[in-house]
Structure 1
Amino acid sequence: MKKIGFLSFGHWTPSPHSQTRSASDSLLQAIDLAVAAEELGADGAYFRVHHFARQHASPFPLLAAIGARTSRIEIGTGVIDMRYENPLYMAEDAGAADLISGGRLQLGLSRGSPEQVVDGWRHFGYRPPEGGTDADLARAHTEELLDVLRGEGFAQPDPRPMFANPPGLLRIEPHSEGLRDRIWWGSGSNATAAWAAGLGMNLQSSTLKDDESGEPLHVQQRKQIEAYHEAWRAAGHTRTPRVSVSRSIFPLVDERDRAYFGRDRGSTDQIGYIDPSTRSIFGRSYAAEPDVLVKQLAEDEAVAAADTLLLTVPNQLGVDYNAHVVGSILTHVAPELGWR
């Protein structure tokens, strides 16, 4: 059995060819797609976070809205750029969204990706630590968030408070019990996967990672997952961690599918540079008839090693089409692979 969810970047553009021509379209359709995905039997609705872009940026209002409209599906991010975040305020937002959803929040974090603007996190008022990098900034914010989510008091109460306080030091409220165990780290390398394991975070591995061996993406990701599990065991954690991988998968079952994605049948991994110093490998798309997809995905070592699969969806094609894609995978592909 494998949990299957969708991952949306929430693009919008005023183009007449887009079904999401405004931020309002993108947000409202995200809620509708999550509702539709739950009705289809999917397990998760996840959203990417990008700043200064025509994409989803502030995730918690969206996640809370989805939590209020659904009852079962996991709601999450993949991922929040921690260079931009105030850990304490984020803990309040996350706690509220988790309580609204009844404890279904799965919060994916990371150092972030190449940006729309130069050092965008500076505009949010943040700086790397002395002698450190923006990656150090993200990790410091993440560690502070993890500490706060434990729910332990740390703030000295005012001796003359406006409202009566419980005894002892005060914690961030609202606190949602169990959320600390539902934090994920979006890792682009084996080393950061091991770092995340040491801190007790779950692992997200996307369709992009550092090219560390020259092997196909799915092989490198499988080795990354193995390194993560080894580090998890070494850290002595007692619970079972979760691991997700993201894939672009399009069953070609009707003429719409073939028109949109038929040309991707021969897709392969690509090599590129997301910054001048980092050679990266970008994963292929899977587009084929369902019986062919079953054979191809059965050979994907990372998908086999993960307990959760996130399907990247082309949100600009609208709710109905994306629900069709998710439904096609759940109906025609997942059962044949033993995922359902």
Structure 2
Amino acid sequence: MPRRGEPLRKLGFLTIGRFDADDPGPGIEETLEVITRAEHLGFDSVWLRDRHLQPGISSPVAIMAAASQRTSRIELGTAVIPLGLENPFRLAEDLATVDILSGGRINPGVSVGTPMMYDHYKTALYPDTHALEDFSKERVLRLLRCLRGEPVSDFEGTVGIEQFTNRIQPHSPGLADRVWYGGGRESAIWAAGQGINYLTSSVVTTEGTESHDFATIQGEHIDAFLANHPHPESARVSQGLVVIPTDSATDDQIRRYREYAAGRFDRTRSPQGARGILFSPDFVGTSDELADHLFDHAGFQRATETAFALPFSFEEDDYRQIITDLAEKLGPRLGWQPKD
């Protein structure tokens, strides 16, 4: 685990891939250029958010397919695909296809639950079944069964000149082992029981804990995951926080970054709502300052890799400066070394 003097195993970042709704092409191209630049900088991974009916990435699998043809090494993940808007059968076909195109570099992160703003578009999404859809974790299990190559059809054979198999095609061995699940303590325990990987984020819930300290709670969730995983020594845990290094930033950028973090700070003061949702503060500072914060952070101490989240509303030059400082300044201070 990345405590002082111990290397951080993998360094990555998460992007929303925002674009102009009236002219989406340049923004989508910018996302692909960010991924290409990340590979050149030596990052281990880039993760894509998944947003629907918003000017952001609505089809991360398509973005990963394009990125797989511009890169050769970097891992491509999703954080996360909400399975309530997906058919696990079809999603498994797409994920396996892109995984093969990429040479086995896809890390599908998923979640379940009623989709955000569902009542406003449920009849467009599921015209006849919107009241019957099952948004439970069974949707994850369906996806896993498809990715593992378990039978999905009761027929296998030849009809005329066409050959049919009883499992999803193409099949990409090992892809099911690279599925990630995000959520709180109970979700962490459930993910461990399935033998899949665990994504943390800058949001936790206080359910099942007496603490109101974000880092402590995130650490407890990771401990619960590792304690219940059949192979904790090889289980993957990724920590997600908003971390903004300022080493090469201009004075104007530093001012805007600090204003951004300050504008979001009030929500971190206490839990919100029935589930006690608690947000992490955003971390802004030099890489020396950020490394000190992270080494003292209970969640970071327990994670095996990171996917620091890029802020939603910054400009292209800002993202370029941030990911460059993450790779060249902060990463080495965390004991990480860029990949060739």
- Same topology, TM > 0.5: yes
Deviation digits for residues 32-89 of structure 1 (CA, Å, limit 9, x no counterpart): 0000011011111111112122221111111100011101110010000011110110
- The aligned counterpart of 1:307 is 304
- Asked if 1:40 is matched to 2:38, the reply is no
- The aligned counterpart of 1:297 is 294
- The aligned counterpart of 1:322 is 319
Matches within 5 A, 1:238-317: 240-253=234-247, 254-255=249-250, 256-263=252-259, 267=265, 269-271=268-270, 273=272, 277-314=274-311, 316-317=313-314
Q: Give the TM-score, by structure 2 length.
A: 0.86
Stretches of structure 1 lacking an aligned partner (at least 5 in a row): 15-20
The one-letter code matched in structure 2 to 1:89 is R
Closer/same/farther in 2, CA of residues 118 and 249 from structure 1, 3 Å limit? same
The one-letter code matched in structure 2 to 1:194 is I
- The aligned counterpart of 1:137 is 135
Deviation digits for residues 218-249 of structure 1 (CA, Å, limit 9, x no counterpart): 1101100010111113xxx5872101111111
How far residue 302 of structure 1 moved from its aligned partner, in angstroms, is 0.6
Q: Give the Cα–Cα distance (whole angstroms) in 1 for the partners of residues 283 and 241 of structure 2.
A: 8
- The aligned counterpart of 2:219 is 222
The farther-off stretch of 33-42 and 155-164 is 155-164
- Asked if 1:185 is matched to 2:181, the reply is yes
Q: Give the Cα–Cα distance (whole angstroms) in 2 for the partners of residues 84 and 98 of structure 1.
A: 21
Q: Is the 1:204–1:243 contact (alpha carbons within 8 Å) kept by the matching residues of 2? A: yes
Q: Is the 2:19–2:56 contact (alpha carbons within 8 Å) kept by the matching residues of 1? A: yes
The one-letter code matched in structure 2 to 1:145 is L
Q: Is the 1:37–1:323 contact (alpha carbons within 8 Å) kept by the matching residues of 2? A: no
Closer/same/farther in 2, CA of residues 75 and 214 from structure 1, 3 Å limit? same
Q: Is the 1:44–1:73 contact (alpha carbons within 8 Å) kept by the matching residues of 2? A: yes
Q: Give the Cα–Cα distance (whole angstroms) in 1 for the partners of residues 47 and 333 of structure 2.
A: 24
Stretches of structure 2 lacking an aligned partner (at least 5 in a row): 1-7
For the residue of structure 2 that corresponds to 1:317, the secondary structure is coil
Closer/same/farther in 2, CA of residues 116 and 29 from structure 1, 3 Å limit? farther
- The aligned counterpart of 2:108 is 107
- Asked if 1:79 is matched to 2:80, the reply is yes
- The aligned counterpart of 2:5 is none
How far residue 338 of structure 1 moved from its aligned partner, in angstroms, is 1.7
Q: Give the Cα–Cα distance (whole angstroms) in 1 for the partners of residues 275 and 287 of structure 2.
A: 35
- Asked if 1:150 is matched to 2:127, the reply is no
- Asked if 1:174 is matched to 2:170, the reply is yes
Q: Give the Cα–Cα distance (whole angstroms) in 1 for the partners of residues 213 and 114 of structure 2.
A: 21
For the residue of structure 2 that corresponds to 1:70, the secondary structure is coil
- Asked if 1:2 is matched to 2:9, the reply is yes
Q: Is the 1:35–1:70 contact (alpha carbons within 8 Å) kept by the matching residues of 2? A: yes
The one-letter code matched in structure 1 to 2:19 is W
Matches within 5 A, 1:13-92: 13=20, 22-92=23-93
How far residue 260 of structure 1 moved from its aligned partner, in angstroms, is 2.1
Q: Give the TM-score, by structure 1 length.
A: 0.86
Which of residues 203, 206, 216 is equivalent to 1:208?
203
Deviation digits for residues 8-42 of structure 1 (CA, Å, limit 9, x no counterpart): 1223346xxxxxx7432332111100000110111
The one-letter code matched in structure 1 to 2:60 is P
Q: Give the Cα–Cα distance (whole angstroms) in 2 for the partners of residues 229 and 285 of structure 1.
A: 26
- The aligned counterpart of 1:18 is none
Q: Give the Cα–Cα distance (whole angstroms) in 1 for the partners of residues 172 and 190 of structure 2.
A: 25
Q: Give the Cα–Cα distance (whole angstroms) in 1 for the partners of residues 329 and 157 of structure 2.
A: 63
The one-letter code matched in structure 1 to 2:72 is S
Q: Give the Cα–Cα distance (whole angstroms) in 2 for the partners of residues 214 and 239 of structure 1.
A: 27
Closer/same/farther in 2, CA of residues 99 and 230 from structure 1, 3 Å limit? same
Closer/same/farther in 2, CA of residues 22 and 200 from structure 1, 3 Å limit? farther
- Give the fraction of aligned pairs with identical amino acids, expressed as a percent: 27
Aligned-residue CA RMSD (Å): 2.5
